[in-house]
Structure 1
Amino acid sequence: MTTTDLGGDEDGQTPVDADDAQYLTPEYSDLRTRGELNDAEASNIVDALLWLDDQGPAPEDLLHQGFLRELHRRMFGDVWSWAGQLRQRDTTIGIAPSQIQEQLQALLGDVLFWVEQETYGQSEISIRFHHRLVFVHPFVNGNGHHARLAAGVLAETLGLGSSHLSWGAHSGQPVAEARLQYLSALRAADRGDYTLLLTNAVS
């Protein structure tokens, strides 16, 4: 399994899939299009960013399953009933559900070790954390957004600043092209080469 089958940008007028719609919270059960859904999720993520500002976590605070689950719930809990809950079904991306908790714990232990032992540079620790988190795919959806935000928080706690990981936002490229480069970088990371992902993350 690789991390690159993440889907493309949805047409804003595309109807929300009926199978997905059953998991919308009552407040958002009347959403009809992907555009409306994207707007609702974006608003929810802004609230999560405000919550993060109040937390000011240290690396050892961030590197806990409870914190990562709460971050996901804060990002998507207004919109989706499954927010913050570990995935219980197979998806086209990610490891088997029965392995998620164990592999997530292994990842968190690895990252804490990297931080304490300075195994890699701070930027590389952050993007390796991001890649492995996407690879595990612990939640039904929202894993890409969650992993990028979690990696950004880790980078900030390591002293790199809140905007260090920009994921191509400062490159001047069109969004679609930047996304393709990000997916290509994830594919290379699946093969153990983090060079492209590191370049993408700080551009």
Structure 2
Amino acid sequence: MSRYRPPLTLTARMIALIAEISEQIGQLSAVDDNRQTPQLRRSNRIRTIQASLAIENNTLSIEQVTAVLAGRRVLGLPKEIQEVRNAFTAYEAMPQWQPANRSDLLRAHELLMQGLIDECGRLRRAGVGIYRGDQLVHMAPPPSRISALIDDLLAWLDKSDWHPLITSCVFHYEFEFIHPFADGNGRMGRLWQTLILSQWRPVLAYLPVEAVIREEQDAYYAALSAADRMAEATPFVEYMLQALNISLREAIGSESVTDPVTDPVTDPVEKLLLTLENRSMRTSELMVEIGLTHRATFRNNYLKPALAVGLIEMSDPENPKSPTQKYRLTDLGTATASSLKRK
């Protein structure tokens, strides 16, 4: 049996973050069962997928990812559209897997990379270096060592008595250090950390921490590099705990989470639905009608949440940035608007 134990220094910052995160998980769990609707969970899953793929240079927007998963045509690179479909399939299959099971790890990679690389679901057979621009930032272990390193890491994960928050972050770092696959290692590491956390607290299965990482992408890579230089996961663990902390704070503060299950629509989305009833309108027309002047506020609080849960749709989803783009209610949006009017 392997006695491998990843090097880590427990810091006061980690302990403080674990305490804060645990408290926030309790708050989120208290409202999750009664108030997190299937629409909200789907919205968070879409945010997770879009952000995780964006970190890997996928250019599709939230609106385009939503359209792809709704089966609508989207003007985008076939590879990027395939990445979205694969990622959704993989995240939906997540409850079937055991984090320490090698076969499950390979199956997850196969789903995530199907049709994108030849070696999907198989450990890499060639050397690989990780570059940022022209600079080599990490030379991964040679392929001859990959199988043993992964087995050691999974054996440690299976027996680890560390706090699950620490364990998941350490696994994420060690996985990225090994870089076991020819491609898809970043998205696999983030997927597997979510799997580990979701088996500890199910509410974390839909926490879009990837969106926080996407916003702080330079810090993410800097934490990986710092951990490499120190030859231990400590800087990366601190970074990931902070990202989880921020994501939980945003989830708890979200209007969507605090709304009752019988009314999953936020006030801005409700206003948008009632404005759009029986007509199609451009962004500029909607903003005038609603009384807004700040385009970012309109997109973040009104447009994106309604698109993400399928309450509205674009008149031209293949060209999301078209100057003639209009928005209209879907069948679900029409039914929701009618329900809102009867309240």
Q: What TM-score do the two structures reach when normalised by structure 2?
A: 0.43
Note if 1:195 corresponds to 2:232. Answer: no
Note if 1:110 corresponds to 2:152. Answer: no
Task: Assess, with a 3 A threshold, how the Cα gap between structure 1 residues 153 and 73 changes in structure 2: closer, same or farther.
Answer: same
Residue 144 of structure 2, aligned match among 75, 80, 98: 98
1 or 2 for the larger relative contact order (CA 8 Å, sep ≥6)? Answer: 2
How many angstroms apart in 2 are the aligned matches of 1:41 and 1:77?
9
Task: Assess, with a 3 A threshold, how the Cα gap between structure 1 residues 41 and 68 changes in structure 2: closer, same or farther.
Answer: same
Consecutive unaligned residues in structure 1, runs of 5 or more = 1-7, 13-33
How many angstroms apart in 1 are the aligned matches of 2:242 and 2:78?
32
Task: Assess, with a 3 A threshold, how the Cα gap between structure 1 residues 165 and 201 changes in structure 2: closer, same or farther.
Answer: farther
How many angstroms apart in 1 are the aligned matches of 2:192 and 2:177?
14
CA offset at residue 163 of structure 1?
3.4
Deviations 1:72-101 (A, max 9, x none): 001111332211111000111421100000
CA offset at residue 103 of structure 1?
0.4
CA offset at residue 128 of structure 1?
0.5
CA offset at residue 164 of structure 1?
4.6
CA offset at residue 202 of structure 1?
4.1
Task: Assess, with a 3 A threshold, how the Cα gap between structure 1 residues 186 and 165 changes in structure 2: closer, same or farther.
Answer: farther
Residue 50 of structure 1, aligned match among 84, 87, 92: 92
Structural mapping, 1:1-203, within 5 Å: 10=57, 35-53=77-95, 55=96, 57=97, 61-93=98-130, 94-114=140-160, 117=161, 119=162, 121-159=163-201, 161-164=204-207, 166-167=209-210, 169-170=211-212, 175=214, 177-190=215-228, 191=230, 192=232, 193=234, 194-203=237-246
Task: Assess, with a 3 A threshold, how the Cα gap between structure 1 residues 155 and 112 changes in structure 2: closer, same or farther.
Answer: same
Task: Assess, with a 3 A threshold, how the Cα gap between structure 1 residues 100 and 50 changes in structure 2: closer, same or farther.
Answer: same
Task: Assess, with a 3 A threshold, how the Cα gap between structure 1 residues 36 and 202 changes in structure 2: closer, same or farther.
Answer: farther
Q: What TM-score do the two structures reach when normalised by structure 1?
A: 0.70
Relative to its length, the structure with more helix (as a share) is 2
Q: How many residues align?
A: 164
Aligned-pair Cα RMSD in Å? 2.8
Q: Which structure has the bigger radius of gyration?
A: 2
CA offset at residue 199 of structure 1?
1.4
Deviations 1:140-170 (A, max 9, x none): 0000001100110011112262135714x25
The 8 Å contact of residues 195 and 205 in structure 2, kept in 1 or not, is answered as yes
How many angstroms apart in 2 are the aligned matches of 1:81 and 1:68?
17
Other structure's SS at 1:162 match: helix
How many angstroms apart in 1 are the aligned matches of 2:58 and 2:206?
28
Consecutive unaligned residues in structure 2, runs of 5 or more = 1-54, 60-75, 131-139, 247-343
